[in-house]
């Protein structure tokens, strides 16, 4: 088999690792010039019933637990004044969905692969019908199977589907806080060791502690995708202060005291349902296949997809048979979950209910590979 994976994110690397464990050669192509070329995003919660299953199959579960932060499962629900309304504290030894930084997970997966598996600086332009991969540098690679693990704006997806991501109407603005226990102790105290969120019906602040004494805050609003325009940091901050004018000064620190500029992340999703006609030499996994609101399922589904596809390839007589076996399970599952989460980002804006609590976990990336 000549198997090519496009995208060196968690899904693509998990698939490559499990294929190599079964003695199947694989090549991974990624557009980044090197593995540290860009920030990989915030923290992830890997669930015992999908993401962790894939890591167990990859033989990396023990290494994951050594890097993960079980204390990151803490979740606080706050009001606009910063008072705690609900508080989930993980029990001793609870490991259902510990947190790990995206960068650490990627380094773990990369380190498990055979040298030379990933080719960096390879930007895919298109997939040819005969299994040709055409790259921006003018080179062409021949393959028997191309696996699109290249995220929201997948270059592989057009080979099997005409669907394109649509703006959800919800925008995320990311703010970073460094050395929080020393430089931002008030924010550190509000957030705790895991995540904290507050909403007033129109807007939401969602904060997540990362490793290395970092916190990321996501300012979530219902706005046009291009609302930020050409505004600089000071102008954006002034607009946020106006929008959050009724919130308390301690909560406003989450949008005014950030270190560096804001990062604009309008939220896109694929139409529901998203399926495609079986093509024996092309398939998709993760966000390339089922881009959904970032409510804690994305990376887990991507890694589960990757595991099932790799095992199907290891256990099937032909590539076409393996792809059909994989898609028979993956497509119905992803459609069902996508329907459950459709418009789910809107729920992040809901004001606190009088009673009841359901922990929410965001998993926000640049919606790429």
Secondary structure (H, E, C), the chain: CCEEEECCCHHHHHHHHHHHHCCCCCEEECCCCCCCCCCCCCEEECCCCCHHHHHHHCCCHHHHHHHCEHHHHCEEEECCCCCEEEEECCCCCCCCCCEEEHHHHHHHHHHCCCCCCEECCCCEEEECCCCEEEECCCCEEECCEEEECCCCCCCCHHHCCCCCCEEEEEEEEEEEECCHHHHCHHHHHHHCCCEEEEECCCEEEEEEEECCCEEEEEEEEECCCCCCCCCCHHHHHHHHHHHCCCCCHHHHHHHHCCCCCCEEEEEEECCCCCCCCCECCEEECCHHHHCCCCCCCHHHHHHHHHHHHHHHHHHCCCHHHHHHHHHHHHHHHHHHHHHHHCCHHHHHHCCCCCCCCCCCCCCCCCCCC
| Structure tokens belonging to residue 103 | 């960068």
Q: What is the pLDDT of residues 10-26, one digit of tens each?
A: 999 999 999 999 999 99
Q: What is the pLDDT of residues 155-207, one digit of tens each?
A: 999 999 999 999 999 999 999 999 999 999 999 999 999 999 999 999 999 99
List the domain boundaries for the chain. Answer: 3-39+104-164+270-342
* Confidence (pLDDT) at 363: 53
Q: What is the pLDDT of residues 89-136, one digit of tens each?
A: 999 999 999 999 999 999 999 999 999 999 999 999 999 988 899 999
Strand partners, 135: 124
- Reference 47, options 365, 369, 363, 368; nearest CA is 363
* Confidence (pLDDT) at 343: 87
* Confidence (pLDDT) at 255: 94
- Scan for tokens 């640049």, then name that residue: 366
In the chain, the percentage of residues whose pLDDT exceeds 70 is 95
> What residues contact 304, with CB distance under 8 A and at least 6 apart?
50, 51, 53, 54
* Confidence (pLDDT) at 295: 87
φ, ψ of residue 361 to 5 degrees: the values are -125, 125
Cβ contact 86:79 at 8 Å: no
Q: In terms of pLDDT, which residue wins out, 272 or 343?
A: 272
Flag whether pLDDT at 1 surpasses 70.
Answer: yes
Cβ contact 140:133 at 8 Å: yes
Average pLDDT for 61-85: 97
Please give the C-alpha separations between residue 18 and each of 2, 236, 308, 317, in angstroms, as whole numbers: 15, 45, 10, 17
* Confidence (pLDDT) at 118: 98
In the chain, the percentage of residues whose pLDDT exceeds 90 is 88
The pTM assigned to this predicted structure is 0.94
Q: What is the pLDDT of residues 223-245, one digit of tens each?
A: 999 999 888 999 999 999 999 99
CA 333, CA 321: separation in Å to the nearest integer?
19
Q: What is the pLDDT of residues 272-283, one digit of tens each?
A: 999 999 999 999
- Reference 75, options 214, 251, 199, 193; nearest CA is 193
Please give the C-alpha separations between residue 178 and each of 150, 183, 303, in angstroms, as whole numbers: 29, 7, 29
Q: What is the mean pLDDT of the chain?
A: 93
- Scan for tokens 């459709």, then name that residue: 342
CATH 3.50.50.60 fits 3-39+104-164+270-342, yes or no: yes
């Amino acid at each position: 088999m000549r198997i090519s994976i496009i995208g060196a994110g968690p899904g693509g690397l998990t698939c490559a690792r499990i294929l190599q464990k079964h003695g199947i050669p694989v090549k991974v192509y990624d557009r980044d010039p090197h593995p540290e070329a860009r920030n990989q995003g915030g923290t992830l919660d890997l669930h015992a019933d999908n993401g962790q299953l894939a890591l167990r199959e990859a033989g990396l579960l023990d290494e994951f637990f050594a890097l993960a932060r079980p204390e990151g499962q803490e979740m606080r629900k706050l009001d606009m004044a910063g008072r705690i309304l609900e508080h989930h504290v993980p029990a001793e030894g609870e490991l259902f969905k510990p947190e790990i930084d995206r960068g650490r997970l990627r380094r773990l997966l990369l380190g498990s692969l055979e040298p030379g598996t990933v080719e960096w600086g390879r930007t895919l332009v298109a997939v040819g019908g005969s299994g040709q991969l055409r790259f921006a540098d003018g080179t062409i690679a021949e393959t028997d199977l191309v696996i699109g693990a290249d995220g929201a704006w997948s270059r592989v997806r057009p080979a099997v589907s005409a669907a394109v991501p649509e703006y959800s109407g919800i925008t995320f603005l990311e703010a970073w806080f460094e050395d929080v226990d020393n430089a931002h102790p008030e924010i550190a105290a509000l957030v705790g060791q895991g995540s904290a969120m507050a909403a007033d019906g129109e807007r939401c602040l969602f904060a997540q502690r990362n490793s290395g004494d970092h916190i990321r805050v996501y300012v979530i609003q219902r706005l046009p995708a291009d609302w930020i325009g050409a505004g600089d940091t000071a102008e954006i901050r002034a607009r946020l202060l106006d929008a959050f004018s009724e919130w308390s000064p301690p909560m406003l620190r989450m949008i005014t005291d950030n270190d560096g500029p804001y990062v604009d992340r309008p939220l896109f999703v694929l139409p529901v349902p998203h399926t495609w006609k079986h093509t024996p030499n092309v398939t998709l996994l993760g966000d390339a296949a089922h881009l959904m609101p970032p409510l804690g399922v994305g990376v887990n589904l991507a890694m589960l997809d990757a595991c099932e596809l790799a095992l199907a390839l290891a256990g099937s007589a032909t590539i076409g048979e393996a792809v059909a076996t994989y898609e028979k399970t993956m497509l119905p599952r992803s459609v069902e979950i996508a329907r459950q989460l459709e418009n789910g980002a809107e729920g992040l804006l809901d004001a606190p209910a009088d009673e009841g609590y359901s922990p929410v976990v965001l998993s926000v990336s640049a919606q790429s590979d």
